[in-house]
Structure 1
Amino acid sequence: MLKDLFRKQKKYATIPSEHAKKDIPEGIMQKCPRCGAISYTKELEKNLKVCKNCQHHFSMSAPERIKVTVDEGRFFEFDVDLLSEDPLSFPNYQQKVKQDMEKTQLNEAVVTGEGTIGGYPAVVGVMDSRFRMGSMGSVVGEKIARAAMRAATKKYPFILFSASGGARMQEGVLSLMQMAKTSAALERMHRERVLFVSILTNPTTGGVSASFSSLGDINLAEPEALIGFAGRRVIEQTVRQKLPEDFQTAEFLLKHGQLDEVVHRGEMRETLIRILDLHSGKGENHE
């Protein structure tokens, strides 16, 4: 009898039933791609979608970014009615755009508007990588150019968060033309002496990194953001050299003078307020 009490019990793996799986809400937890730490989604969102274990910055949607940057209830969106066309009759392009519209509840890969940040008025643009990987088509370029022109007219600083895979190939040369269009609009701002603050987030690549996102009077970036034009392998094959491990990261660009500062997401809003405060000329008198 005593022998039975101490005998080894067989170990069995427990496989959750289909019913149990359905009881667990999808997306309740997220795994950090950098350190592997598991976090409750709600806790992650409270921490501005930054991993508490390793400080990895998860991607943010445009609505999320606006919510944590602009004063509550003080954002008024521009150009909601602009929609992408299919100038090249590219296979399945319109279908994919419609799918992204349903998935993101956005009409395009960038949201622009005006609002206040710490009480200071500003024109704000935020790219959303969930929509066609934040690629720049005709509508994205047009919305950013219009936002820049409005900023120049109203003499409001322009704050733009970039997140993009580059120009949108389904629109061919029309997408490449947006590089010149947006750059020309920013030149108008420069002539009017209106501040442009560009914030590069992960990833900012291709034609976006080669145009408006790199033309800020002040260029900021989030930690470890991927920023570059061509891919690492293409560059290594071209220059026939092994590139540094941190190549095309925000920290690498800061070290080589292409950024003014790398700013943690938790400090981004206060950093922007300080910049706007300094630019306003009010300095320490602002309350």
Structure 2
Amino acid sequence: MDRGGCQMNGGGGGGGDGSGPDRHGTITLEDLESFSEDQLSDSGNGSLEEEGETMEEDEDSDRLLHYWQDVARGHQVEVSQDMAEPIQQLTTNNQGRSQREHIPFTLLTRKEKCGELLYEKRHYEKGHWACITMREDTYEQSICYGFMRIMRYICQQNSLGNYLGMTLPIVTVVRTDENHSVISHDVTVAYYLPAEHQAQPPQPSDNEVVIEIWPATVVYTRAFSGPTNEVTIINQINAMAELLDSPGVCVNDSFIVAGYTNPAHSNRQNEIWFLERR
């Protein structure tokens, strides 16, 4: 896929938090934060020598890494040792939901039936995104490995050498055939840069992570929960297509899955986005 295919442009191109996957675990960023805090409160007594504090921090980092590794095996995903520092940074820098910036949008309309929200129509402004396109054996593996690469960029592997801040949702761009029956193996994982970095995006150290400007876009979005895999995504795309009054106004072969919880969470909170044609 060419790099331009990552864009959320409503013209046939493509479009967290946390990282590290599982089919039987229920891991979220909140789980990891509380896990870290518990470990720190157990060990911290205000009288440890500096060397001892460093050892405790190393132990906490190892515990978090091992926890992510255990959960990831359910998705046939390996979390390497070099993820220990990004995992620790993401955990300690996100102590509460208020610090996670949500991608800004303007709500245009809501369609309801018998008091139930069917979908929303939103307008997203132009903005900078960090993107990486993966081609693993399964969609789950692609989003997990892709997010870990993005996570390294967020945490330190950028031209500033600093933690950039978490934004939600983390999105993945999926492409299908016109019948919405098969998902391409090429999956793009994308992270919206926080407001303070929009004007001058830090450059990635990973040359496969690219910074793109996605144009302003109108999307039709519907929430769903549970795991995201080839079957559930196809089902969600077809369900959304049936709800739209005029599905022809949307791109027919490129969609976005927006994730608000870890790709590994068994009850993941997601949205399916249809892109309005430009």
Question: Please, what TM-score do these two structures have when normalized by structure 2?
Answer: 0.25
Higher helix share: 1
Q: Which of 1 and 2 has greater Rg?
A: 1
Higher RCO, Cα 8 Å, sep 6+: 2
Please identify which structure carries the higher strand content. Answer: 2
